[in-house]
Amino acid sequence: MKRKSIIILIIFLFVALVGLIGFKGTMEEMSKEREEITRNYLEKEVADTTYGGEVFAEFHTFMVKSNRAYIWSYTSEYYEDDGSVYQGRASSGPRIIYFSNEKEPVDHFRPGHGSYYSESIKEKFPFYLHNKVLSFPSESGEVIQNLKEKIEYRAEKYFDKKIRDREEVASKKQIQKVYEEKDPEYWGEMVPGVIKRIDTEEKVVALTLDACDGDYDRELIAHLRKEDIPATLFIASPWIENNEKELEALADDPLFYIAGHGKDHLPLSVEGKEAYGEKGTGGVKEVMEEIVYNSRDIEEVTGKEPSYFRSGTAHYDEVAVSIANSLNKKVIGFTVAADGGTTFSKEEIKEAVLGTGPGGIILAHMNHPNSEIAKGLIEGIISLREEGYRFIHLKEYEDKFYEL
């Protein structure tokens, strides 16, 4: 009896082994063409939508055999609303795609929900894939994350826009609602909430440079690197359009910190006030767009969202400053405008720099290479150093910012 049981067991194992070898022996590689056909099928026939948006799909292949592909798919809907793109319905899970003899997808299997989930996988998937499929979310989270990132990249490329977060948008709408009824009392460069200097008697000075539009003062930046002078660079979106590679290099240099300078380099007003003949933003929404869109432009190039902001012309009303603060931006003013709005001579710039004093914030420009800004600044910086001053990043003394 015992011998008979052993023989039956051996026969059973032999049959199972032959079946397994035979099954695996007929497995196939999924061609690029078949991958694309499967992806299209997932997007058009398998995925569900909630907002009627565009669906994107990616998948990981466990095995392809004959007319079946055993995969883990990730599908996500993206839709456009009020000029922005958001994620809609998303789904991630194991699937079986069935193909015709012509290798076209004709049907699919999706596991059941709840307690039937594991039962349906064991019923439809080959037994040697059961553990892999059931443990895939916990043991292969990086693979699933990679599928999601591929989809987000494709969606952003399709819409030519960054994907936005609904909670972030809701927060901005709330900010808009809060400030729409507020009337400003002040207008100018030094209004409540603007940081004018660092509250310290230490001989420290912060250099800040504005890049409004157009050109790039390479000589000035080269001097700062040579003298190891840190600076905060306020970058406007029009400047980025002509100097994207330069911005990327500056952001990679620890000597510099990148800050925002406006989508259109406008004075920041909720009433459309002017500064130096330039009309400012015309309401709460425009104030927010001037700040937020510029931040996005910077983040797309540098990978980091700036935390400081200075408006075009450095003019504000106090409501606009409060809006910037609600958007997590500290508004940086200045102690001295060292280049007089790009009009000063080399000697005037040097004299202005020397008049900064402890905790001073120097404002100058880095987009006028044909001016005397570089020479005047460097001479002033060298003289300040000889007087015992140290140049710092704003972030080093953030806890000592002095607001008006």
pLDDT value for 116: 84
- Which residue reads 């995925």 in tokens? 47
pLDDT value for 170: 65
pTM of the model: 0.65
Q: How far apart are CA 328 and CA 306, in angstroms?
A: 9
pLDDT value for 403: 74
pLDDT value for 24: 46
pLDDT value for 183: 93
Q: Where are the domains of the chain?
A: 24-164, 185-403
Q: Which two tokens stand for residue 244?
A: 């994207």
pLDDT value for 175: 85
Pair 259, 232: CB distance under 8 Å: yes
Closest CA to 83 of 337, 313, 292, 366: 292
pLDDT value for 19: 47
Neighbours of 140 (CB within 10 A): 14
pLDDT value for 229: 96
Q: Find residue 206's DSSP bridge partners.
A: 361, 392
Per-residue pLDDT of the chain (404 residues; tens, 9 = 90+): 556 566 555 555 554 554 444 444 445 678 889 999 999 999 999 887 778 889 999 999 999 987 899 999 999 999 887 777 888 888 899 999 999 988 899 999 999 877 788 999 999 999 999 999 999 988 888 999 999 999 999 998 998 887 877 666 667 778 888 898 899 999 999 999 999 999 999 999 999 999 999 899 999 999 999 999 999 999 999 999 999 999 999 999 999 999 999 999 999 999 999 999 999 999 999 999 999 999 999 999 998 999 999 999 999 999 999 999 989 999 999 999 999 888 899 999 999 999 999 999 999 999 999 999 999 999 999 999 999 999 999 999 998 888 76
CATH class of segment(s) 185-403: alpha beta
CA 383 to chain CA centroid, Å, is: 40
Pair 384, 377: CB distance under 8 Å: no
pLDDT value for 1: 52
For helices 346-354 and 373-386, give the axis angle rounded to 10 degrees: 30
DSSP-assigned states of every residue in 270-288: SS--EETTEE---SHHHHH
pLDDT value for 309: 98
User: Which residues 6+ apart lie within 8 Å of 90 measured at CB?
Assistant: 74, 75, 76, 77
Q: How far apart are CA 58 and CA 149, in angstroms?
A: 10
Q: Which residues of 169-192 are buried (b: 16+ CB within 10 A; e: fewer)?
A: eeebeebbeebeeeebeebebebe
